[in-house]
Amino acid sequence: MSPSIVLLLGSLLGSISFNVDWSAFRAGGDSGRVEFFYSIPFDQLSYTQSDSGITAPFSVRMAMSGVDNGFRQEGTVYKRARLTSFEEASRVQRTFVDGFSIIAPPGRYRFEMTVAESSKVGANTGTVSDSLQLAGFSGGLKLSSLQLGASALSDTVTGAVSVVPTPSRRFALSGTDVIYVYYEAYNMRPESSAYRVQLAVLGPGTDTAVKTPKMNRSKSGTRAASALGVSVEGLKPGDYLMTMALTDLVTGQVAFGERPFALGTVKGQAGGFNVNLDSLSDQERMYYRDIQYIATPREVAYYNSLSESGKDVWLASFWSKHNLTEFARRLETAESRFRRQRTPGVRTDRGRIYVKYGEPDAIEQKVIETQIRPREYWHYYSSGYVYVFVDIRGDGNYRLAYTNNKDEPPTGFESYLTPDEQEQWGQ
């Protein structure tokens, strides 16, 4: 194994800069579950490059204490950021997103989060301190915090929905047509199977920039949880307020929620890719038409319906929005890493997911446990996706047994999940 090479990025910048956001939901009784999320730009950390890849170990220390009660909780977790390449990370301005939760009684709190490097060249740190008010969730209709994100996830088996949080609550104008809002409602009357909800976006001067129709949503019992998308297409840069009014159709009681956010230029917002056919490398030219591995089924169908000249025009547009160089690199990596006998690497489940989504942020392996087939867990922290691959036949060809990515169809191998895995993912 070649020696590790330390690459300084964050250590040249001094204090680590990162974003923190939180949302409150009901836990047991009147206690609340405060979900904290943080995002760290890739260039705030220092990396070590070795045969195992480009990684940056860091720690996150959290302390939360009550202002008007004796509550206190603190702890430290250790994480590892992973890059595919510095070129890719710089181009898309890679950001590492993760989170955790703390259960506490109602009250006022102070919290302090510190991110520290764990490299051999020093330990730069950054700290964010703030306060929060955790309200109670008993006594009539209550609404959780509104959690905002640029994308939503849905579990294809359980139907549960969530959003991928944006801790900065700042959304890029380019590429953000919809902002998703996750919410939970509590203490509704059980007689009705539905409730009513309406969302609005207020602009500067409290002018209403966007308002959704009043929507009746289904529920079961006294609680509801859902994620709704609100179009922000055409809005100008600036500060906005997302608002919600939720009505119990039995009592007529209304609960209100709001969350500020901003639209504008996000640091490192990726622009288009310039594709010049004459300057393509042999590798890029080889894979130029293999769009089926990353395009949507609708895009593939439309492409196949075009004439040859129409396909050339469409491909130029397609690759202006996707990184052909990175795509070709992923295909080559998938072939060398995941090829099995006569099966090309991209046609294996791991190879296909790798080409589509890139290098996982973390891979967990279980290969020697008695009576359990070898398996791998792939985690993508920024999207929240998790993939479980199982070596069903013992031939090294790991099949996809489970994922929470709603764009992936049922795998047919769910029965190979262990009882613990089935309980964890609601199988």
* CA-based nearest residue to 21, from 206, 184, 213, 169: 169
Q: Give the percent of the chain with pLDDT over 70.
A: 85
Q: Do domains 1-135 and 139-269 have the same CATH topology?
A: yes
Contact 151, 171 (CB under 8 A): no
Q: Which fold has domain 1-135?
A: Immunoglobulin-like (2.60.40)
pLDDT band at 104 (very low <50, low <70, confident <90, very high): very high
pLDDT tens readout for residues 221-275 = 999 988 888 888 888 888 899 999 999 999 999 999 999 999 886 554 444 555 6
Going through 249-350 in order, the beta strands assigned E by DSSP cover 254-264
Distances in whole angstroms, Cα of residue 22 to Cα of each of 35, 70, 112, 154: 5, 21, 12, 21
DSSP conformational letter for 223: B
Model pTM greater than 0.75? no
As given in the structure block, the two tokens for residue 105 are: 């009684």
Integer-rounded Cα Rg, in Å, for the chain is 24
Residue 13 has pLDDT above 70, yes or no: no
Residues 273 and 324: beta-carbon distance below 8 Å: yes
In the predicted structure, residue 115 carries a pLDDT above the cut 90: yes
pLDDT in tens, 31-60: 999 999 999 988 888 888 777 678 888 999
Beta bridge partners of 223: 220
Name the band, by pLDDT with cuts 50, 70 and 90, for residue 120: very low
Task: Determine contact, residues 18/128, Cβ cutoff 8 Å.
Answer: yes
| CA separation for the pair 374, 289 (Å, rounded) | 35
Q: What is the pLDDT of residue 270?
A: 41
In 10 A of CB 264, how many CB atoms? 13
Distance CA 162, CA 384 (A): 10
Max CA separation in the chain (angstroms):
72
Tally of helices (H runs) and strands (E runs) in the chain: 7, 24
Domain ranges of the chain: 1-135, 139-269, 273-356, 360-427
The arrangement of secondary structure in 139-269, i.e. its CATH architecture, is Sandwich (2.60)
Average pLDDT, the chain: 82
**pLDDT band for position 421 (50/70/90)?**
confident
What would the mean pLDDT of 351-367 be, rounded to a whole number?
A: 83
Q: For 286-349, give the DSSP string.
A: HTTT-GGGTS-HHHHHHHHTS-HHHHHHHHHHHHHHS-HHHHHHHHHHHHHHH-BTTB-GGGSH
Reduced to 3 states, what is the DSSP secondary structure of residue 393?
Answer: coil
- Per-residue pLDDT at 8: 44
| Edge-to-edge strands, sheet with 32-41 | 19-26, 32-41, 95-104
